[in-house]
Amino acid sequence: MIAIITGATGDIGEEFVKSLIGEVDHIWAVGRSENKLNALREKYGDKIAPIICDLSDKDSIIGLCHKIEDEHPDIRYLVNNAGVARMAPVTEFPIEELCDMLEINDTAATLLCRASLPYMAEGSNILNIASASAFQPNPYIAVYSASKAYLLSFTRSLNVENKGINCIAVCPGWVDTKMLPSKTKSGKVIKYPGMVSADVVVRTALKDLRKGKDVSVCSPYYRYTRFLSKVVPHKTMMKLWIREIEDYIE
Ligand SMILES: NC(=O)c1ccc[n+]([C@@H]2O[C@H](COP(=O)([O-])OP(=O)(O)OC[C@H]3O[C@@H](n4cnc5c(N)ncnc54)[C@H](OP(=O)(O)O)[C@@H]3O)[C@@H](O)[C@H]2O)c1
């Protein structure tokens, strides 16, 4: 029995490794850095099977899907956690960077779900790490936010299509990981509102999964934001968002 965790070398990814390692025989730890994957294996032992795969490259993603088909492992957990983000207007992103973001955040997660589902017995689990930014449009992270809205929608549909497999979209707000640049303004560190630690995200996600939820939001602040995004016009929500992030925009 195995777990597949993409972005296992990242902060939220490693929390999933810690939480799931006791439940499976092996973890296919997917990442692009051989050194980081080897360090993970040294830290957590032989149960870690490092898989080097650059998820911004479609051929590499397809190669990983074929590995699943060839080895037909008993997959207990698939955690599509790898993701990239950057705050800037769309016009400031090089075309290649946007391609990479869409491949990592959406294509890889989609194809890995497709490749894994035939090898998941009843009671198995898919956790797709989306974001609270999926709940509304968010200027200055427009593509990231849209990519996470895709993942949220896709995951909820999968959960209905695949009876017996628990599929959940994990939608945290700000999380204290290396993805967030630590920024200062006038000598003061800028605070991210409602920020939580990676272990809170993972603990809440696994608890929500066991309760049968298809969406996990790990803090009251973002549960409230999600509620607002259902009842307040999105034009207003976008204005509030821009006020929240004006300190981070250069
Ligand atoms: N931090 C937040 O505020 C926040 C909020 C909501 C949702 N999320 C989501 O949470 C997930 C995990 O992010 P994190 O906050 O834990 O950030 P992180 O520590 O930067 O982890 C990101 C992971 O993705 C991997 N990755 C990036 N590009 C890759 C590629 N081309 N191929 C393979 N792996 C790649 C990274 O590998 P390397 O170690 O090699 O860089 C790393 O393991 C992401 O999907 C993110 O969108 C984060």
- Spatial separation of the C-alpha atoms in residues 221 and 44, rounded to whole Å: 33
In 3D, which of 100, 112, 110 has the Cα closest to residue 143?
A: 100
Q: Is the pLDDT of residue 201 over 80?
A: yes
User: Is there a contact between 50 and 29 (Cβ–Cβ < 8 Å)?
Assistant: yes
- 94 found inside a domain: yes
For the ranges 28-32, 227-231, 241-245, the lowest mean pLDDT is seen at 241-245
- 250 found inside a domain: no
**Residue 174 in 3-state DSSP?**
coil
Place of tokens 């006791």: 22
* pLDDT tens digits, 168-193: 999 999 999 999 877 777 777 778 88
| Domain boundaries, position 231 | 2-245
For the segment 82-91, the average pLDDT, to the nearest whole number, is 96
Q: Residue 87: which CATH number?
A: 3.40.50.720
- Residue 197 is predicted with a pLDDT of 96
- Spatial separation of the C-alpha atoms in residues 144 and 27, rounded to whole Å: 27
CA of 250 to the centre of ligand 1 (A): 23
CA of 9 to the centre of ligand 1 (A): 8
In 3D, which of 71, 9, 84, 6 has the Cα closest to residue 43?
A: 9
State which ligand 1 atom lies nearest to the alpha carbon of 132.
6
| Number of structural domains found in the chain | 1
- 34 found inside a domain: yes
- Mean predicted lDDT score pLDDT of the chain: 96
- Substitution site in 84, 182, 204, 244 for ligand 1 pocket (most atoms within 8 Å of beta carbon): 84
pLDDT band, residue 250 (cuts 50/70/90): low
- 232 found inside a domain: yes
Q: Is the pLDDT of residue 87 over 90?
A: yes
User: Is there a contact between 139 and 241 (Cβ–Cβ < 8 Å)?
Assistant: yes
- 212 found inside a domain: yes
For the ranges 38-42, 121-125, 132-136, 189-193, the lowest mean pLDDT is seen at 189-193
pLDDT band, residue 244 (cuts 50/70/90): confident
State which ligand 1 atom lies nearest to the alpha carbon of 57.
31
**Strand order, beta sheet including 26-31:** 48-52, 26-31, 2-6, 75-80, 125-129, 166-170, 215-216
